């Protein structure tokens, strides 16, 4: 359920950020670990808290499009079209950076990632803060991204000054990252905005990814990983593992065809915490948007079951599922 921020919480949040503190805040994609993007010391604390290599760039979140020129320059027309179409929303643009942008933000590159998030709490904070907030996903480096305040607490604990609970995030997976430093847009990380929609909004075709792509930690082969050994599987693999009586948890869009497994339904938020037996089956939504929305919650849940293996049943190989497919591949790499 969506939760708003109280007036007092908002004041505390903004004051902490102004003093160089770290605040975990909800966005519509995943929770972000926010700090003042123009305060070098504050930004360095993000890397420490996450255990993230210092040469990985972070996204700067701003409240409105008027602030774009403070961070980026030589913004191509097509990037402005994308901005006007998808912001506020789950999209990050990589643009040529202004001189003043800290190296800690860009990882020493001459580009900067910018996003205007739509989550109302994040929007309120940005309006009141009136500056840029550096915010990577609020999880330890390499762990599953947080789609709820509880996940942040589990992953970062006391390494953050304050966690604002805005309920589960609506989109559920990270923003689509589009490199706009060339003549054509290029997708660096898929999210829930489709290639068709991007081409339509930009009025240009998307450039295929090449190896000189800027550094994106989300582009590392293994990322978003559960601790449990995770595999992408088809229906036959899953049946076989069930028959072998292995301790497994299955993430699937269909119902199990055996009756010995403990069934959890991702579409029903409350469930029993009494588990017996060693085979679990999590029924995932059929629709891509609903699947993305519950993916990280279910991965966290599955991981906490501490089975010997997590089997994720393959999802459709279509454009709408690209961002999800990408996360599943990384979770199982």
Residue 42's H or E segment, with its range, is: helix 40-50
Q: Does 32 bind ligand TXA (CB under 6 A)?
A: yes
Q: CA-to-CA distance for 255 and 259, rounded, in angstroms?
A: 10
Residues 295 and 327 sit within 8 Å (Cβ to Cβ): yes
115 or 300: CB nearest ligand TXA: 115
Of these partners, Mg ion, ligand TXA, none, which one is at the site of residue 112 (CB under 5 to 8 Å by kind)?
A: ligand TXA
Please state the closest distance from residue 169 (CB atom) to ligand TXA, in A. 9
Q: Is 58 in the site for ligand TXA (CB under 6 A)?
A: yes
Query: Helix 149-156 and helix 288-304: axis angle, to 10°?
Result: 40
If the CB atoms of residues 57 and 166 are measured against ligand TXA, the closer one turns out to be 57
Q: Are 46 and 136 in contact (CB under 8 A)?
A: yes
To 10 degrees, what angle do helices 195-202 and 77-86 make? 120
Q: Per CB under 6 A, does 218 bind ligand TXA?
A: yes
Q: Which of 42, 125, 135, 266 binds ligand TXA (CB under 6 A)?
A: 135
Region for residue 52 given its phi and psi (left: phi exceeds 0; alpha: psi -120 to 50; beta: otherwise): beta
Per the rule left: phi > 0, alpha: psi between -120 and 50, beta: everything else, 51 is left
Q: Which stretch binds Mg ion (CB under 5 A): 133-141, 230-238, 282-290, 324-332?
A: 133-141
Q: Which of 316, 181, 188, 167 is nearest to 254 (CA)?
A: 316
Binding of residue 106 to ligand TXA (CB under 6 A): yes
Q: Is position 176 an interface residue for Mg ion (rule: CB under 5 A)?
A: no
Q: Tell me which of 106, 109, 119, 137 binds Mg ion, using CB under 5 A.
A: 137
Q: Does 88 bind ligand TXA (CB under 6 A)?
A: no
Distance of CA 17 to the CA centre of its chain: 21
- Of 101 and 250, CB closest to ligand TXA: 101
Burial of 205 (0-12, 13-18, 19+ CB in 10 A): exposed
Instruction: In angstroms, give the least distance from the CB of 315 to ligand TXA.
Output: 20
User: Does 57 sit near ligand TXA (CB under 6 A)?
Assistant: yes
Burial class of 309 by CB neighbour count within 10 A (0 to 12, 13 to 18, 19+):
middle
169 binds ligand TXA (CB under 6 A): no
- Among 158-166, 169-177, 194-202, 274-282, the segment contacting ligand TXA (CB under 6 A): 169-177
Q: Are the beta carbons of 11 and 143 closer than 8 angstroms?
A: no
Residue 132 near which of Mg ion, ligand TXA, none (CB within 5-8 Å, type-dependent)? none
> How many Å apart are CA 297 and CA 271, to the nearest integer?
13
Rg of the Cα trace of the chain?
20
Comparing CB distances to ligand TXA, the nearer of 29 and 332 is: 29
Which residue's beta carbon is nearest to the bound Mg ion?
A: 137
Q: Is 109 in the site for Mg ion (CB under 5 A)?
A: no
**Does residue 177 belong to the site contacting ligand TXA (CB under 6 A)?**
yes
Q: Could you give phi then psi for residue 85, rounded to 5 degrees?
A: -80, -45
Residues lying near Mg ion in the complex (CB under 5 A): 137
Residues lying near ligand TXA in the complex (CB under 6 A): 27, 29-30, 32, 56-59, 92, 94, 106, 109, 111-113, 115, 135-137, 174-175, 177, 188, 214-218
């Amino acid at each position: 359920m969506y939760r708003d921020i109280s007036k007092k919480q908002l004041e505390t949040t903004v004051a902490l950020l102004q003093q160089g503190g770290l605040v975990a805040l909800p966005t519509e994609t995943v929770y972000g670990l926010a700090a003042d993007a123009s305060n070098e010391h504050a930004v360095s604390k993000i890397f420490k808290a996450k255990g993230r290599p210092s040469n990985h760039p972070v996204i700067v979140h701003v409240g409105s499009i008027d602030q774009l020129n403070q961070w980026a320059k030589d913004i191509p027309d097509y990037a402005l079209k994308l901005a006007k179409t998808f912001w506020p929303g789950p999209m990050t643009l990589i643009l040529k950076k202004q001189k003043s942008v800290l190296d800690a933000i860009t990882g020493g590159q001459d580009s900067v990632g910018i996003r205007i998030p739509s989550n109302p709490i994040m929007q309120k904070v940005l309006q009141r803060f009136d500056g840029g907030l550096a915010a990577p996903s609020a999880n330890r480096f390499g762990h599953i991204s947080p789609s709820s305040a509880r996940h942040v607490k589990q992953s970062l604990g006391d390494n953050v000054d304050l966690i604002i609970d805005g309920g589960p995030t609506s989109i559920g997976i990270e923003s689509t990252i589009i490199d706009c430093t060339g003549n054509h847009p290029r997708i660096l990380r898929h999210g829930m905005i489709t290639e068709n929609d991007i081409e339509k909004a930009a009025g240009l075709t998307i450039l295929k990814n090449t190896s000189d792509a800027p550094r994106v930690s989300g582009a590392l082969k293994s990322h978003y990983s559960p601790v449990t050994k995770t595999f992408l599987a088809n229906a036959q693999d899953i049946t076989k593992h069930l028959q072998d009586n292995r301790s497994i948890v299955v993430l699937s869009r269909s119902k199990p065809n055996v009756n010995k497994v403990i069934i959890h339904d991702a579409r029903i938020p409350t469930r029993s915490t009494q588990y017996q037996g060693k085979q679990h089956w999590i029924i995932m939504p059929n629709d891509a948007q609903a699947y993305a929305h519950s993916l990280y919650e279910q991965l966290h849940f599955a991981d906490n079951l501490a089975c010997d293996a997590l089997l994720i049943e393959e999802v459709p190989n279509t454009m709408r599922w690209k961002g999800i497919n990408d996360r599943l591949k990384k979770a199982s790499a």
